[in-house]
Protein backbone atom coordinates (compact mmCIF):
# COMPACT_ATOMS: atom_id res chain seq x y z
CA UNK A 1 0.00 0.00 0.00
CA UNK A 2 1.57 3.33 -1.03
CA UNK A 3 2.13 5.96 1.64
CA UNK A 4 0.02 9.07 1.46
CA UNK A 5 1.72 12.39 1.00
CA UNK A 6 1.67 14.83 3.91
CA UNK A 7 -0.47 17.25 1.90
CA UNK A 8 -3.09 14.55 1.25
CA UNK A 9 -3.13 13.59 4.93
CA UNK A 10 -3.52 17.25 5.94
CA UNK A 11 -6.38 17.70 3.49
CA UNK A 12 -8.13 14.61 4.84
CA UNK A 13 -7.66 15.80 8.41
CA UNK A 14 -9.02 19.23 7.52
CA UNK A 15 -12.06 17.64 5.87
CA UNK A 16 -12.60 15.53 8.99
CA UNK A 17 -12.43 18.67 11.15
CA UNK A 18 -15.04 20.36 8.92
CA UNK A 19 -17.35 17.32 9.24
CA UNK A 20 -17.02 17.39 13.01
CA UNK A 21 -17.68 21.14 13.12
CA UNK A 22 -20.86 20.57 11.10
CA UNK A 23 -21.96 17.85 13.54
CA UNK A 24 -21.55 20.19 16.49
CA UNK A 25 -23.27 23.03 14.65
CA UNK A 26 -26.23 20.84 13.65
CA UNK A 27 -26.72 19.43 17.17
CA UNK A 28 -29.92 20.94 18.60
CA UNK A 29 -28.29 21.11 22.06
CA UNK A 30 -25.60 23.48 20.81
CA UNK A 31 -26.34 27.08 21.88
CA UNK A 32 -26.87 29.68 19.15
CA UNK A 33 -23.83 31.73 20.17
CA UNK A 34 -21.65 28.62 19.85
CA UNK A 35 -23.09 27.89 16.41
CA UNK A 36 -22.23 31.43 15.34
CA UNK A 37 -18.66 31.03 16.59
CA UNK A 38 -18.34 27.71 14.77
CA UNK A 39 -19.39 29.52 11.59
CA UNK A 40 -16.55 31.96 12.27
CA UNK A 41 -14.10 29.08 12.71
CA UNK A 42 -15.20 27.56 9.40
CA UNK A 43 -14.80 30.93 7.69
CA UNK A 44 -11.31 31.35 9.14
CA UNK A 45 -10.27 27.91 7.93
CA UNK A 46 -11.64 28.56 4.43
CA UNK A 47 -9.87 31.92 3.97
CA UNK A 48 -7.19 31.88 1.30
CA UNK A 49 -5.38 35.08 2.24
CA UNK A 50 -3.18 33.39 4.88
CA UNK A 51 -1.10 30.24 5.10
CA UNK A 52 -2.80 27.16 6.53
CA UNK A 53 -0.76 27.33 9.76
CA UNK A 54 -1.95 30.88 10.45
CA UNK A 55 -5.57 29.99 9.71
CA UNK A 56 -5.40 26.93 11.94
CA UNK A 57 -3.85 28.92 14.80
CA UNK A 58 -6.65 31.48 14.54
CA UNK A 59 -9.24 28.69 14.48
CA UNK A 60 -7.62 26.99 17.48
CA UNK A 61 -7.84 30.22 19.45
CA UNK A 62 -11.56 30.53 18.63
CA UNK A 63 -12.23 26.88 19.46
CA UNK A 64 -10.54 27.25 22.84
CA UNK A 65 -12.77 30.23 23.60
CA UNK A 66 -15.84 28.24 22.55
CA UNK A 67 -14.83 25.26 24.72
CA UNK A 68 -14.69 27.57 27.75
CA UNK A 69 -18.37 28.52 27.31
CA UNK A 70 -20.23 27.63 30.50
CA UNK A 71 -23.45 26.78 28.59
CA UNK A 72 -21.76 24.05 26.58
CA UNK A 73 -22.73 20.41 27.10
CA UNK A 74 -19.81 18.20 28.24
CA UNK A 75 -20.15 15.98 25.15
CA UNK A 76 -20.01 19.01 22.86
CA UNK A 77 -16.93 20.26 24.69
CA UNK A 78 -15.30 16.86 24.11
CA UNK A 79 -16.14 17.07 20.41
CA UNK A 80 -14.52 20.51 20.23
CA UNK A 81 -11.35 19.23 21.90
CA UNK A 82 -11.25 16.40 19.37
CA UNK A 83 -11.41 18.98 16.58
CA UNK A 84 -8.61 20.94 18.28
CA UNK A 85 -6.54 17.77 18.37
CA UNK A 86 -7.05 17.13 14.65
CA UNK A 87 -6.09 20.69 13.75
CA UNK A 88 -3.00 20.60 15.98
CA UNK A 89 -1.81 17.45 14.20
CA UNK A 90 -1.96 19.28 10.88
CA UNK A 91 0.42 22.03 11.98
CA UNK A 92 2.68 19.76 14.04
Question: Per the structure, how many domains does the chain have?
Answer: 1
Half-sphere exposure in the Cβ direction for 55 (13 Å, CA): 15
70 Rama sector, left if φ>0, alpha if ψ -120 to 50, beta otherwise: alpha
Contact residues for 78 (Cβ-Cβ < 8 A; gap 6+) = none
Residue range(s) defining the domain that contains residue 35: 6-91
- Assigned domain for 12 exists: yes
Structure pTM?
A: 0.86
Q: What's the confidence (pLDDT) of residue 8?
A: 67
- Assigned domain for 80 exists: yes
Q: What is the pLDDT of residues 45-73, one digit of tens each?
A: 998 888 889 999 999 999 999 999 998 99
Amino acid sequence: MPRKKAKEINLEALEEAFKMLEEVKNDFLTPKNVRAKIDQVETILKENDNEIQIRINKALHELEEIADDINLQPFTRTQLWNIVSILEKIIA
